[in-house]
Amino acid sequence: MARLAQTAGLTDIQREILATVRGFVDKEVIPHAQALEHGDEYPSDIVEGMKEMGLFGLTIPEEYGGLGESLLTYALVVEEIARGWMSVSGVINTHFIVAHMIKQHGTEEQKQYFLPRMATGEVRGAFSMSEPDLGSDVAAIKTKAKKDGDSYVIDGQKMWLTNGGTSTLIALLARTDEGAPKAHQNLTAFLVEKPAGFGEVAPGLTIPGKIDKMGYKGVDTTEAVFSGYEIPAGRVLGEAPGKGFAQMMDGVEVGRVNVAARACGIAIRAFELAIDYAQQRRTFGKPIAEHQAIAFKLAEMATKVEAAHLMMVNAARLKDSGARNDVEAGMAKLIASEYCAEVTQDAFRIHGGYGYSKEYEIERLMREAPFLLIGEGTSEIQKTIISRGLLREYKTRS
């Protein structure tokens, strides 16, 4: 058979893009990932390389300076990048979500203003929904935006902003007085421009230092503190107050496909490392790959990688077709993240004591894989989404 995680039915352009990205990952990412990750260093040179390839504008329409590619193309690119180093995929993930939200929900003025500069990477996006006291319970958001003439004044604290310091645009969800009485219907999405950096980057907006994390290093994860921050009413996404919940959920939906793709990338790399090591490491006079216990483990790992990849591709293609894909995206994110954790741990076990050494790449993957069990909604949240969708489709008549 061919190598794992191959995708049928791709166009020549898609295959060319993926071949270019894979070559870039093999030459520019994998050889440097260990040193950058252990030093928690931002991958500036790698990011510049991605800008040159046009990856920041991959899904932005051509009329706004992007490549106009599909969610599937983007997901497959993310899979390749995460195979090299998950943190690099994190650099473009929130950017992609914000660009998607502007493309789908922004006014024409907002599209013209932001998208061309986002396509080149000049403007970089961050996504801000979580708060210190909430994650999945979005309707409980406390950050408030109060209307004041032609502006809003924002007060509150946000948490877990990937690219919080390096970004120059934040898609922010805050509570406003507009909308229906239901809690999630008086939430509004704002497009907050800011300079890159840490500290008080603008009057009323502070980005504290990076949060120290177990893994997912290199890329900056921060808080954002708003205290009397003033923003023009024209920076409400789509100039549609009270519509923020649906707009952000659309972003999260494509984000779940992205997280599934990242999980696939890590699982692929863990499998590659394991099958290579198993053919080199010898015990009892033969490579450990020839011992049935290891051979069977490799078979199970490969099957999980292939299953996760297929579900991720299916969810992306459904979204590209215009069909609702919340259930399929939830399924893909659930199985890909869980299988990623399992495949990575199996690869770690195959490495034995060497897997515990920072000299070996699998040690880094063991710290990165758990993040995907949480990002864009925990496995339990995915099960909630999936079960509600199934009950909706299979509702019995009373």
Q: Concatenated DSSP letters for 58-102?
A: SSS-GGGTS----HHHHHHHHHHHHHH-HHHHHHHHHHHHHHHHH
Burial class, 270, CB count within 10 angstroms (exposed 0-12 / middle 13-18 / buried 19+): buried
What is the chain's length? 398
Dist. CA 71–CA 323, nearest whole Å: 13
Cα-Cα-Cα-Cα dihedral of 128, 133, 135, 139, to 10°?
A: -80
Neighbours of 122 (CB within 10 A): 11
Q: Concatenated DSSP letters for 93-121?
A: HHHHHHHHHHHHH--HHHHHHHHHHHHHT
Catalytic residue among 52, 361, 376, 380: 376
Instruction: Determine contact, residues 158/112, Cβ cutoff 8 Å.
Output: no
Instruction: Determine contact, residues 207/224, Cβ cutoff 8 Å.
Output: yes
**Identity at 229, one-letter amino acid code:** Y
Active site residue 253: no
Cα-based angle 235, 164, 162 (whole degrees, multiple of 5): 110
Sequence-distant (≥ 6) Cβ neighbours of residue 382 within 8 angstroms: 256, 330, 331, 333, 334
Tokens of 316: 């992306």
CB burial readout 61-76, b (16+ within 10 A) else e: beebbbbebbbbbbbb
Measured CA distances, 372 to 267, 301, 332, 336, 355 (Å): 11, 17, 12, 9, 20
Rg (CA), the chain: 21
Q: Concatenated DSSP letters for 10-66?
A: --HHHHHHHHHHHHHIIIIIHHHHHHHHHTT---HHHHHHHHHHTGGGSSS-GGGTS
Residues with catalytic function: 376
